[in-house]
Structure 1
Amino acid sequence: MAETPRRTKLWLTAAAVLLAGLLIASGVVWRDDILRTGLDPKEPFQTYEPPPAPDYGRREAWNLLPTQPETWVEDGPPADVFFVGPTSYDGGRHWNAPIDDPRAERFFQRTVGPNYVGPFVRMGRVFAPRHRQASLYSMLTLRDDAREARRFAYGDVRAAFAQYMDAYNQGRPFVIVGVEQGGTLAARLLAEDVASDPDRLRRLVAAYLIETAVPAAGPPLPPCQTADQTGCLAAWVSAYEGDRERAQQIRDRSLIWDRDGQLSNLSGLAICYNPLLGQVSDDEAPARLAKGATNATNLEWGARPALQSRQVSARCENGVLRVSRPRSVAFQPTGSWANQRKVPGYNLFYGDLEASYELRLSALLADPDFPRAARPIPAGAEVPPSPVHRID
């Protein structure tokens, strides 16, 4: 009789182990779906009440802003950088992030700033607005709600650019930099507020839209065809060599602005700028041309990171920048599940972007026809009266 309880106990133990194994296996198989669902606001965008709008006349509406944005410093940088950041807000409660979300702020300061703003700092005052960005969840689904959230975010970026132009630019040369989702917003900004304005277009050093799909047919600006061309567009979206899934996602899931101001699926090829060549080209760029990759995450702001040259080669194929896998272990995905679906905590083209921007800016400033802006008069300064000539 003692055998029966013992067998029953063994069967129950085996069943418990099997059940635990099934649960673990299910968690592994459906892990992405479970975590993605946790970021869903679970409310239609049409009934969603977004966070309060930022006031770009106030310093707290900017991630980065010069100490005295309205004035020039004699020995300061010769140009401005208007930077639209990538996704830093995971989601969960909101479709669009409050501008004071602490986790999003930390991601920008620790990862985005050092790696993606850094290449432009040496020759540029940086204006990086906070905006009610669409959440990471909006990047992981093709629902109409997600597209509406991304369209909504554009209103903030356009308002920030208007504040920059009206109050801070004062006729200076400038570069526009956008990364990932921020690059898509910047692409529309170029079409609506730069390309149609001859004065702004004349002063645009270039637009760098990093990890951003921009249609090769009908882009907002002419693509950069030479290394020193100004007023042009450098845009690309990349995949590692051999990563077919990523390349297919780029073709199937990339969204671009159509003529009606709606986000539509990319049809056809995207512009493929090769950072190692400094131009749009189908030529393969060997690793010996790579000027320096870096993992600058958590680097003190303003410090120039150490660069590792010859880390990757790159070539354009069917509108996708195919990049060889970097040699250093410093360029491996890290962080939480959500952070690994945002822009990497390193920049494989840091040195190339830095050199490209400085070359284009030098070419623009060396142009004898480039309009030189008058230096603004400091507040409170006395202005001598203009002479008046009587006409009898």
Structure 2
Amino acid sequence: MSRQPWAALGLIVALGLGGVACSQPAPAPAGPPPPNDYARDDAWLCRPGRQDACAADQTATVIAADGGTTIEPFKPDPKAPIDCFYVYPTVSSDPGGNSDMVPDLPEKAVVAHQLARFGQVCRLYAPVYRQVTIAALRKVMMGQASPGDGDLAYGDVRDAWKHYLAHDNHGRGVVLIGHSQGSRILLDLIAREIDGKPVQKQLVSALILGMNTPVDPATGRYGSLPLCRQAGQTGCVISYVSFRADSPPSDKSFFGKVAEPGKTAACVNPAALAGGPATLHSYFSDRTIMGSAMRPATTWAKGAEVTTPFVELPGLVSGECVSHDGFDYLAITVHPDPADPRTDDIPGDLLAMGMRVKDWGLHLVDVNLTIGDLVEVVAAQSKAYGAKAK
């Protein structure tokens, strides 16, 4: 069985037609859903020049080890020299196997956590797509066949990408950003539409987060794309899945191992591209990527009032890419201090009945953990890409 859950989600259910009377012939099967028109403004969660989901406030409260606080303002750059094209993870609360094209709160809210901060370094594009839903994922987790159509989800993103290239890109460099199901789709998009094609020269980087990117351990490449291993390197891939260092993946874990023979799951630490441990530049929130409030709410520091959407806790969290029992992942360590008024732990675990689902690791905050580092990496890549393009 594949260890990539979104591959499983792509299965199409074959429904039998039982109990049909002879006088009532079975209805003809429905044709494929019509393609989306990505010339429509409402087919995009984010586009430059709009007040949309990407206009979410990114202001953060910085809480130092002594409990002191400062406010870090945020200002996007509408004239950023490169673009970011983002595909969001499985968040849709629609009841069917695939979502509709009317984004619900979770589809809008996840953008605040995973994309809007990149507005400092790139122009933001995020298509709405008919993703495989949370409802479909639940069926898979219960051992049932998925009612979701992964090909439909991929086809939407492919069509949005082609529309973006034809009408919006104008030869600019572009960063691909995805998480979970979004990353799975971007891996397919790279393989089918980018690798070896003329547009590859415009790829600044691909951030394939919270997903198993299969790479050849001898070359460290996904197709022809190398992993990013130094600041300013372009045309490369950053990919990782995250687990607590003291709770590594088990044989039941979805993340950290690939099904392809002879391949390993890529792990690149955005805070230390060449390898080794490093303090992470994280941005945490009291709200989940689904937009709902944390239960229970996090107390970030005793006596500290937090009124901003995001919190920074400098020095509290570090990460290092490790290999353990055939798994490759970003091992996350929290460094509590009894004398430190700040929280001694971080949110991000998938919970079931109030208990951690350890096999999913810190999947819910894969992006939050390193987004400050990722923005810095993309800023350096943008500068290097611009210098090469001159």
Q: Secondary structure of 1:81's partner? A: strand
Provide the residue aligned with 2:207 in structure 1: 208
Deviation of 1:157 (Å): 0.7
| Stretch moving more, 238-247 or 324-333 | 324-333
Provide the residue aligned with 1:356 in structure 2: 377
CA distance in structure 1 between the aligned counterparts of 2:167 and 2:287, rounded to whole angstroms:
32
Quick check: 1:76 aligned with 2:91? Answer: no
| Cα deviation digits, residues 86-124 of structure 1 (max 9, x gap) | 011246x411111215xxx211322x1121103311121
| Pair 107,330 (structure 1): closer, same or farther in 2 beyond 3 Å | farther
Provide the residue aligned with 1:292 in structure 2: 282
CA distance in structure 2 between the aligned counterparts of 1:147 and 1:298, rounded to whole angstroms:
25
Q: Secondary structure of 2:376's partner? A: helix
Identify the match of residue 267 of structure 2 among 268, 272, 285. Answer: 272
| Pair 49,336 (structure 1): closer, same or farther in 2 beyond 3 Å | farther
Identify the match of residue 242 of structure 2 among 233, 238, 251. Answer: 238
Deviation of 1:343 (Å): 5.2
1:1-392 matched pairs, under 5 angstroms: 44=14, 53-67=35-49, 76-90=79-93, 93-101=95-103, 105-110=104-109, 112-140=110-138, 141=140, 145-146=145-146, 149-198=149-198, 200-217=199-216, 219-220=222-223, 221-245=225-249, 248-250=252-254, 268-279=263-274, 281=275, 283=276, 285-286=277-278, 289-295=279-285, 297=287, 305-318=310-323, 319-325=328-334, 328=343, 331-333=346-348, 344=364, 347-367=368-388, 370=389
CA distance in structure 2 between the aligned counterparts of 1:204 and 1:158, rounded to whole angstroms:
16
Deviation of 1:360 (Å): 1.0
Q: Secondary structure of 2:115's partner? A: helix
CA distance in structure 2 between the aligned counterparts of 1:271 and 1:334, rounded to whole angstroms:
21
Q: Secondary structure of 1:88's partner? A: coil
TM-score scaled by length of structure 2: 0.66
Q: Secondary structure of 1:146's partner? A: coil
Check whether the contact 2:179–2:210 (CA below 8 A) recurs between aligned residues: yes
Check whether the contact 1:84–1:129 (CA below 8 A) recurs between aligned residues: yes
Counterpart amino acid of residue 133 in structure 1: Q
Counterpart amino acid of residue 171 in structure 1: G
RMSD over equivalenced CA pairs, Å: 3.9
| Structure in which a larger fraction of residues adopt helix | 1
CA distance in structure 1 between the aligned counterparts of 2:334 and 2:31, rounded to whole angstroms:
43
CA distance in structure 2 between the aligned counterparts of 1:266 and 1:127, rounded to whole angstroms:
35
Check whether the contact 1:295–1:330 (CA below 8 A) recurs between aligned residues: no
| Cα deviation digits, residues 152-196 of structure 1 (max 9, x gap) | 311111011000000100111111101111001001111222222
Higher Rg of the two aligned structures:
1
CA distance in structure 1 between the aligned counterparts of 2:101 and 2:211, rounded to whole angstroms:
23
Counterpart amino acid of residue 331 in structure 1: I
CA distance in structure 1 between the aligned counterparts of 2:167 and 2:380, rounded to whole angstroms:
27
| Pair 316,336 (structure 1): closer, same or farther in 2 beyond 3 Å | closer
Deviation of 1:240 (Å): 1.0
Deviation of 1:67 (Å): 3.0
Aligned length: 304
Deviation of 1:267 (Å): 6.6
CA distance in structure 1 between the aligned counterparts of 2:87 and 2:261, rounded to whole angstroms:
21
Q: Secondary structure of 2:231's partner? A: coil
Provide the residue aligned with 1:15 in structure 2: none
| Cα deviation digits, residues 52-85 of structure 1 (max 9, x gap) | 54211101111111238xxxxx961111110011
Check whether the contact 1:205–1:231 (CA below 8 A) recurs between aligned residues: yes
Counterpart amino acid of residue 321 in structure 1: L
Q: Secondary structure of 2:316's partner? A: coil
Deviation of 1:266 (Å): 7.7
| Pair 349,272 (structure 1): closer, same or farther in 2 beyond 3 Å | same
The structure, 1 or 2, with the larger RCO (C-alpha pairs under 8 Å, 6+ apart) is 2
Q: Secondary structure of 1:121's partner? A: helix
Counterpart amino acid of residue 80 in structure 1: D
Gapped regions of structure 2 (runs ≥ 5)? 1-8, 17-28, 51-76, 292-307, 337-342
| Pair 266,108 (structure 1): closer, same or farther in 2 beyond 3 Å | farther
| Cα deviation digits, residues 272-321 of structure 1 (max 9, x gap) | 11122034x3x2x14xx323333274999xx9945322232212222221
